[in-house]
Structures are given as C-alpha cells and as structure tokens.
Amino acid sequence: MSVLMVNERYDFNSLKELLDITDGNLASHLKALEKEDYIKVNKSFVGRKPNTNYEASEKGKDAFRKHLDAMEQLIRQQKL
C-alpha cells in the first residue's frame, strides 16, 4: 500500500520486482486490498500483452493514513 501512496499507479510486474515476492503472494495481497476497496484495479492491453495497474482509492489512502497515525501514537507512547 505504501508504494501506491507515493505513486499514482503501479503495474503488477513492477510491484512484484520492487517487493521481491512471488506472483501468488502479491496476487493474494492485492486481492485482499481490492476486496476492502482500498485499491482500484485497471486492466488494459499494451500491444497484445495484458497489463494490470493498481492505484490507491480514497478509502485506501484514508485507511493507510489512519494506520500510520496509530503506529506513530504507539511509538510516542513507548518513548515516555
């Protein structure tokens, strides 16, 4: 999700390479994010090859910001 927060879109193969994970692992994570409407899936063809792009939805961006805020609060509590 963090990749999609700082990039407008990212395709499947680029995500797989960046994260250094298997097709199946990435697909299951993306499916879970899609199920929660945290990402938008855009399918197209580049020439004759299928291409799938992902982008963070507004709901996903909001959920990610809330997650970061919660993590920050935990870190602050540990410093006290």
Give the predicted TM-score (pTM) of the model. Answer: 0.86
Tens-place pLDDT, residues 1-12: 999 999 999 999
At residue 20, φ and ψ (nearest 5 deg) are 55, 55
Tens-place pLDDT, residues 25-73: 999 999 999 999 999 999 999 899 999 999 999 999 999 999 999 999 9
Q: Which residues of 45-74 are buried (b: 16+ CB within 10 A; e: fewer)?
A: eeeeeeeebbebbeebbebbeeeeeeeeee
Q: Cα–Cα distance between 10 and 7 in angstroms, integer? A: 7
* Topology (CATH level 3) of domain 2-79: Arc Repressor Mutant, subunit A (1.10.10)
Q: Cα–Cα distance between 5 and 55 in angstroms, integer? A: 8
Tokens of 30: 């993306």
